[in-house]
Amino acid sequence: MAVAEHEKPERRTPTVVADGVHVTYTERGGPRGRRTVHAVKGVGFAAYRGEAIGLIGSNGSGKSTLLKAIAGLLPTSAGRIYTRGRPALLGVNAALMGDLTGERNVILGGLAMGMSRKEIAARYADIVEFSGINDKGDFVSLPMRTYSSGMGARLRFAIAAARSHDVLLIDEALATGDAAFRRRSQKRIDELRAEAGTVFLVSHSNTTITETCDRALWLESGELLMDGPAKEVVAAYERRTDTSPRQPAKT
């Protein structure tokens, strides 16, 4: 029997699929000089077009490592990550050139994000206005090393958000701005989602996660403990205690 068009299940397009992902790496430190870190342990999920997904968990839980693996900057030691298009990672510590002016960094950052020089020129004024770095002076003409960490992070976000992405990965960038910048950022994230993109956001601000994201992943010690609606996951995370048993992953 034929299925009526309105009765057909919605077909969602996956943008990121993590299949049993493990990430290990070696870092310097410890009594022997080096140690192996098993940062992500068997994480699996699928992300879809139009979703904004928050990553929460305590320090060292594997959130930033997972973002880097999705971006292709860290290899998986087991499991696979499948992505649609080229994920763009925006981190507070993303490297722009400290000795170059903000103007030059807008150009270089735009090129790194895949924009043409013509596109950068057309969007330059909007990028600077969005970042707010010129609100209290002509900072765009000064070297970036003279910027505060918040100014640098706002400029990085403004550059990254100036074009659409299949997958945009944001690591703590929204925590550095004032209330007005956070409102602009959240509005831009909504626009990116409407343009069929997927946004991942790492933040230690649970309010930012619930206001910006509709879904959240809770990681602890590299394991995925819970996956579900952002408000439910954040509420469960906030109820945790050091003595609470771990919860199984939820979808």
- For 137, the token pair is 């002076």
The pLDDT assigned to 8 comes to 44
pLDDT of residue 91: 61
Model pLDDT for residues 133-162, shown as the tens digit of each residue: 888 788 999 998 998 878 888 888 888 888
Domain assignment present for residue 15? The answer is no
The verdict on residue 209 lying in a domain is yes
The partner residues of 229 in beta bridges, in order of sequence, read 215
- The confidence score (pLDDT) of residue 67 equals 93
Checking if the pLDDT of 4 tops 60, the result is: no
pLDDT score for 5: 45
Asked if pLDDT for residue 128 goes beyond 90, the answer is yes
Q: What is the average pLDDT across 166-172?
A: 84
Of 136, 132, 134, give the one whose Cα is nearest residue 157: 132
Given a contact cutoff of 8 angstroms between Cβ atoms, the answer to whether 3 and 68 are in contact is no
pLDDT score recorded for residue 47: 96
Query: Per the domain annotation, does 4 fall within a domain?
Result: no
Q: Which residues pair with 167 in a beta bridge?
A: 198
CATH number at residue 114: 3.40.50.300
Number of compact structural domains in the chain: 1
Q: Let me know if 63 is exposed, middle or buried by CB neighbors in 10 A (0-12, 13-18, 19+).
A: buried
Asked whether residue 185 is domain-assigned, the answer is yes
Quote the pLDDT of residue 177: 63
Using the predicted structure, report yes or no on whether residue 13 has a pLDDT greater than 80. Answer: yes
Could you give the C-alpha distances from 214 to 1, 55, 83, 180, 211, in angstroms and in order?
36, 11, 20, 21, 8
Give the domain extent around 178: 49-73+85-239
Instruction: Express each pLDDT in 180-228 by its tens digit.
Output: 787 888 888 888 777 768 989 998 889 889 988 999 999 999 999 999 9
What's the confidence (pLDDT) of residue 161?
Answer: 82
Q: What is the pLDDT of residues 35-57, one digit of tens each?
A: 889 999 999 999 999 899 999 99
The answer to whether position 217 is within a domain reads yes
Model confidence over 95-113: pLDDT tens digits? 578 899 999 999 988 887 7
Would 10 be classed as within a structural domain?
A: no
Q: What is the mean pLDDT of the chain?
A: 84
In a domain, 153, yes or no: yes
**pTM score of the predicted model:** 0.76
**1 has pLDDT over 50:** no
DSSP, residue by residue, the chain: -PPPGGGSPP-PPEEEEEEEEEEEEEEE-STTSEEEEEEEEEEEEEEETT-EEEEE-STTSSHHHHHHHHTTSS--SEEEEEESS--EEEETT----TTSBHHHHHHHHHHHTT--HHHHHHHHHHHHHHHTTTTTS-GGGSBGGGS-HHHHHHHHHHHHTTS--SEEEEESGGGGS-HHHHHHHHHHHHHHHHTT-EEEEE-S-HHHHHHH-SEEEEEETTEEEEEEEHHHHHHHHHH--TTSPPPPP--
Q: Provide the pLDDT confidence category of residue 19 given band limits of 50, 70 and 90.
A: very high
User: Does residue 31 surpass a pLDDT of 70?
Assistant: no
Please tell me the predicted confidence (pLDDT) of residue 7.
42
Q: Has residue 243 got a pLDDT over 60?
A: no
- Residue 147 belongs to a domain: yes
